[in-house]
Structure 1
Amino acid sequence: MLADKLEKIQALFREMDQALIAYSGGVDSTLVAKIAYDVLGESALAVTAVSPSLLPEELEDAKIQAATIGIRHQVVETHEMDNPKYTANPINRCYFCKSELHDTLKPLANQLGYAYVIDGVNADDLRDYRPGIKAAKERGALSPLAEMGVTKMEVRQFSQQLGLPWWDKPAQPCLSSRFPYGEEITISKLQRVGRSEIFLRQLGWNHLRVRSEGDTAKIELPPERIKDFVANNDLNTVVQKFQQLGFLYVTLDLEGYRSGKLNQVLTVKSEQ
């Protein structure tokens, strides 16, 4: 039962004197921050890592959410873009990102006297290819949502029950996830993708991805919304905006949005 899972997570935090939360502002880590604060109060600290793969708008959301919860919030910089193993965008790119994150958070936790670094990994994350989870575990991070078998759907249910107004916030993974493996990641490319998604959200399309492949932008929407997008938008205006941001070509993915879509190439390769 949901109530049992929540009680077990609360019990985990009661066993800790202090906890540092790896807090991106996404629905998962925000739920963890909320539970940690409810149990530990001022002994819980949420830390958000800032880098070119996080849009300023996402950071502002994280700050607002932390203030609403009441949890203490700190911002640190990470420098994964300085690592050529990351910017080369291999299939284990996420490993190098999370290595940088937790190599930043763990010394901070030690400095502040926090024995635990907690992340927002949920049970569904364990079913996808997520090399970053390995990096976090190697550095001692704990994942109470995954440990208690809490799925993404249950994260949203818990968040709604606890009165968090962003319980239905769309997933917003690292902008680097918008690029096919092997395509070099640059700051300008990250900004181009991020600004494109912000533009579409301002038009009212919240559940989406803009995938970047070379000079081509591929817009992914829920399949049932594709017809509405074509019918209700001035497509010339969309194309012009994307071209102003640096893309040459703009396409609409007819398969529609699917989380982790770029990982399908890994399945194909494994079957060959």
Structure 2
Amino acid sequence: MQEKYEKLQENLHSLNRVAIGFTGGVDSTFLLKTAVDTLGSENVLAITIDSILLPRKELEYLKSIIEKLKVKHIIVKVKPIEEILENPVDRCYHCKKYIISLMLKTALEYGIKTVVDASIVDDLSDYRPGLKALEEGNIRTPLLDIGFTKKDIRFLSKQLDLETWDKPSESCLATRIPYGTRITEEFLEMIEEAEGFLYSLGVRFCRVRLHRNDIARIETSIGDMEIIMENRDSIISSFKKLGFKYITLD
């Protein structure tokens, strides 16, 4: 484990100055922290692409991480392009390609030529068309190249006293909508408010997935099932007010 960490430091040191795509998740927080410790905060730029696809609670959370790391942070607010809103099977490719173009442009404005992404080995086991966009954009992926897994990063994050070490994995709100269903602001608001209600009950992890435009399928951990069942009636009432007709639990 220590050998991987030292290789990461060597890799980052060779880049001199970097811009890092920052989401506030386990992987990007670990990468950003390591970059700051290795290169100094003056040589690191964190870039967050903000749109209606990013949950508001995640935006506020990542801002709190930035304050603790004391690194320059740029938030680029954009509207998703049509190729993303159409929600094709390769939506993630179009989204990542768009994000990369914005990050490269922003990095150059600050005199930085190298953009680094926090993809890891675990990403290779899922359907991730966005990885193709990283290759096309010549984006550096040191965690992936060195062989870091989520388990590695959680372990090292705990050693570095990062509060994200046990943070549940997050994903953009678009992943809650099935391919082929157009992504609308109305759907995203329904989903985000529904998840927000569940979190307010004390649930630690959840996804509210949209089906047939009016079905909410709640995905949660076994540990959170009890909270869901204890609050069954209030959840049904709240979700129906948001526009869902049927609520299921997975």
TM-score by length of 2: 0.95
In structure 2, the residue matched to 1:34 is 33
Equivalence map 1:43-192=2 (5 Å): 43-80=43-80, 82-83=81-82, 85-192=83-190
Letter in 2 for 1:5: K
Secondary structure at 2:34 match in 1:
helix
Q: Distance in 2 between matches of 1:3 and 1:142?
A: 21
CA contact (8 A) 1:20 1:116 kept: yes
Structure 1 segments unaligned to the other structure (5+ residues): 254-272
Do 1:78 and 1:100's aligned partners in 2 also have CA atoms closer than 8 Å? Answer: no
Tell me, yes or no, if the aligned pair for 2:104 and 2:113 is still in contact at 8 Å. no
Partner deviation per Cα, 1:116-146 (whole Å, 9 max, x = no partner): 1011111100121101111122111111111
The AA in structure 1 aligned to 2:145 is E
State the Cα distance separating 1:202 from its structure 2 match: 1.4
Structure 2: runs of 5+ lacking an equivalent: none
Percent of paired sites with the same residue? 38
Q: CA deviation at 1:246?
A: 2.0
Helix, strand or coil at the partner of 1:7: helix
Q: How many residues align?
A: 248
Contact 1:34 1:71 in 2 (8 A): no
Residue aligned with 2:15, SS: coil
Encode CA deviations 1:57-116: one digit per residue, 9 max, x unaligned. 211111100111122111112332x32x21121111101111110110111112221121
- TM (norm. structure 1) is 0.88
Aligned to 1:239: 236
Q: State the distance in 1 between where 2:8 and 2:235 align.
A: 45
Q: Residues 143-167 of structure 1, C-alpha deviation per residue, up to 9 Å, x if partnerless?
A: 1111111111111111111110121
1:103–1:230 Cα change, 3 Å: closer
Q: Please say if residues 157 and 165 of structure 2, whose CA atoms lie closer than 8 Å, have aligned partners that are also in contact.
A: yes
Q: Is the 8 A contact 2:100 2:134 kept in 1?
A: yes
